[in-house]
Amino acid sequence: MRTIHRREDPDPWLAFQDDANLPLDPLARDSWIADTSRWSRQFLMPIIRPISKVVMGLIQLYKIIFPNALTSSLLMHGIITWGLKRFVTPEGNYLLVRHFHLGSQILEFLKHNIEGVKIETEPLYPPDLDAFKDNLILKHDINLYNFVIDLNRELKEKNLKVSPRSSFDFSDLHHPPITIEQFRHGRLNFIDIHTAIEIILPLFQFLQTDRAFWRSTQSLQLDETVGLYFANLLNMHNRLFLVNNRHPLVPAVTGEAGYRLVLHSISTEVLHAMLMELKARSELL
């Protein structure tokens, strides 16, 4: 239900919902606003986030001495899946599962539209939260690193560049076949996805090797790299926006991973929405 606009007391979320400058899928936009405007984001997250940073700092000290002790990706993904199902909002879980679909579609689009390269990829299209049990988070990060490394090796070996094209193959782009209704709507499903991420991060850090955790958090540095691929391919450098890592060669501290992960998610949504707009226009020609 839309908020009634009161001119003497305008609702910030209504302004964000009506702002058409930012390309976003309508359902994703509504889900994002519904999830972010939850009371947990306003009142619980400011408490959780500093606690999470302190705990992560202590874990980092522990990892200096025992970098590979007490690690288990299967246990970590199992606990995360359990927590997501029982405590996170249906909108948050929808956006989370959707993110893996969008990320895979974006890489597949690059793979099939950068001329002259041949890259092997492993797209991830989880149907539900249970797919997380199969090391989904780690696979997502590893796929991105492998894609960037393989692409640049192909470009270097074949003396190629990512250059603008006049037409594109949009066959990899579509709306993910998932719905908000498929996720649990229980009384305990009140935690927004950003707050949930801040809770999950220390667990993720503790149950991963130090190298695996660092690799995973620094994958967020590749947002700008992927954004530049699209800016060159689409010849739309003015649309390279909402990339907030400043520079991929200057890693942020791992304590900022939660906030940066949320920025990564929204930039993925914006890029996918922009590509879907281009696909719709091409179908009219």
pLDDT single digits (tens) 128-173: 999 999 999 999 999 999 999 999 999 999 999 999 998 999 999 9
> Cα dist. 99→7, 164, 203, 271 in Å?
35, 26, 21, 12
Let me know: does 197 contact 262? Beta carbons within 8 Å.
yes
CA angle 223, 225, 229 (to 5 degrees): 115
Let me know: does 39 contact 33? Beta carbons within 8 Å.
no
Average pLDDT in the 11-32 region?
A: 85
Q: Phi and psi at residue 75, in whole multiples of 5°?
A: -65, -45
What is the model's pLDDT at position 47? 96
What is the model's pLDDT at position 195? 97
Let me know: does 216 contact 208? Beta carbons within 8 Å.
yes
**pLDDT grade for 257, boundaries at 50, 70 and 90:** confident
What is the model's pLDDT at position 138? 93
Higher pLDDT, 131 or 17: 131
Tokens, residue 139: 């696979």
What is the model's pLDDT at position 228? 85
Q: In angstroms, how far is the first alpha carbon of the chain from the final one?
A: 36
d(CA 209, CA 2): 45
User: Tell me: the pLDDT tens digits for 192-241?
Assistant: 999 999 999 999 999 999 899 989 988 888 888 888 899 889 888 766 55
Name the percent of the chain lying above pLDDT 90: 71
Is the pLDDT assigned to residue 95 strictly greater than 80?
yes
Averaged pLDDT score across all residues of the chain: 91
Higher pLDDT, 245 or 91: 91
Q: Specify which residues 191 forms β-bridges with.
A: 88
Is the pLDDT assigned to residue 1 strictly greater than 60?
no
Length in residues, the chain: 285
Domain ranges in the chain are: 24-118+137-284
Tokens, residue 51: 């606690």
Is the pLDDT assigned to residue 16 strictly greater than 70?
yes
